[in-house]
Structure 1
Amino acid sequence: MSVAGMILAVVFFTIGVLGTILPALPGAPLIWLGMLIYGFFVKFQNLPLVFFIGQGLAVLLIFFIDYLASIWGVRRYGGSREAVWGSILGGILGILVLGPFGLIFGPFIGAVAGELYRRSPLDKALEVGFGTLIGFLGGAVLKLAIEAVMIIWFFMAVI
């Protein structure tokens, strides 16, 4: 075991988990990167290719959850196809306009705009927008659970 490698890995894990909560940081990729850095320190002893492929699939699952969580929230709260597209476009434009906070507020604004474009009443549009926030929070909980499994798997492999 490499103490320096372990310290770096734990720093990346911590920043990665914070990135799941704070939208400015790419959470799961940082966790995976911490594992890769540790692997270089120990010449990949106890960390075979299958381990990194499994961890990479977990990262992809987290991206998939990110994508679907807001859409689920829109649909769960009765949003239209326009609201779904609005939440997707809002997420993309939100990052560009609002920076990291655009990941949270962009889909909300986009879903509301999509419902208003469809001529839904304002209270309905706001409810659908709220659904994107619920989806985001639910997705964050799922992502944290998967990241915890990733980190536990890492420690089980190296200790």
Structure 2
Amino acid sequence: MIDALVEWLAQGGVWFGWLVAVVLVLVGVAGAILPALPGTPLVLGGLVLMAWLDDFAHVGAGTLLWLTLLTILSILVDFIATAEGARRFGAGRGAILGATLGVLVGIFFGLPGLLLGPFVGAVLGHLAGRARVDDSLRAGVGASVGVLVGTLAKVVISVVMILWFALAWWF
């Protein structure tokens, strides 16, 4: 299967490979914002494909290793930011679980759902643990702050990855 792909690319399908690589990077950047898409892994996949299409002439294993480490860092930061944001505002396990479910449900309601989903989920999750309303509202705010910090971190890391790749390519 891989041999057939390599042969096809060698016969003129290279432009299609570059198109796929660019689309992966663009969808990855969008995925840094939208929780339904694996943002930085898609960016990494597109960048690795670009390096491969160039026979690793401009971007080598060292750069790709650092980009992989940044991808892992972005995934860790995303999980930690949401949980830590909720925890710092007094959320318990129920609120953190509710915030996570709120993000997943919020995806289907566009940007308002992405902003309100973690808040509502954390509040409901915290209330389900027989917490007071004001504590639950605070947990909701914390979960929302955590999601926003995690999203911002993923976007910044995605941009850093693209810039790092571009600098390695041209210099």
149-158 or 44-53, which moves further after superposition? Answer: 44-53
Matched, 1:121 2:115: no
Please, which of 122, 141, 148 is the counterpart of residue 111 of structure 1?
A: 122
**What is residue 163 of structure 2 aligned with on the other side?**
152
Structure 2: tracts of 5 or more residues without a match: 1-13
Matched, 1:142 2:153: yes
- The answer to whether the Cα contact below 8 Å between 1:23 and 1:101 also exists between their aligned partners in 2 is no
Q: Distance in 1 between matches of 2:21 and 2:137?
A: 41
**What is residue 41 of structure 2 aligned with on the other side?**
29
Structure 1: tracts of 5 or more residues without a match: none
- The answer to whether the Cα contact below 8 Å between 1:8 and 1:38 also exists between their aligned partners in 2 is no
Tell me the C-alpha RMSD between the 2 structures.
2.7
Choose 1 or 2 for highest CA Rg.
2
Query: In 2 relative to 1, CA 134–99 (structure 1 residues): closer, same or farther, beyond 3 Å?
Result: closer
Matched, 1:39 2:63: no
Number of equivalenced pairs: 152
Partner amino acid for 1:150? M
TM-score, with normalisation over the residues of structure 2? 0.74
Q: How does 1:1-150 map to 2 (within 5 A)?
A: 4=15, 8-87=20-99, 90=101, 95=104, 98=105, 100-101=107-108, 104=114, 107-150=118-161
1:7-34, Cα deviation, whole Å (9 max, x unpaired): 5544332221111112232110111011
- The answer to whether the Cα contact below 8 Å between 1:70 and 1:107 also exists between their aligned partners in 2 is no
Identity %: 38
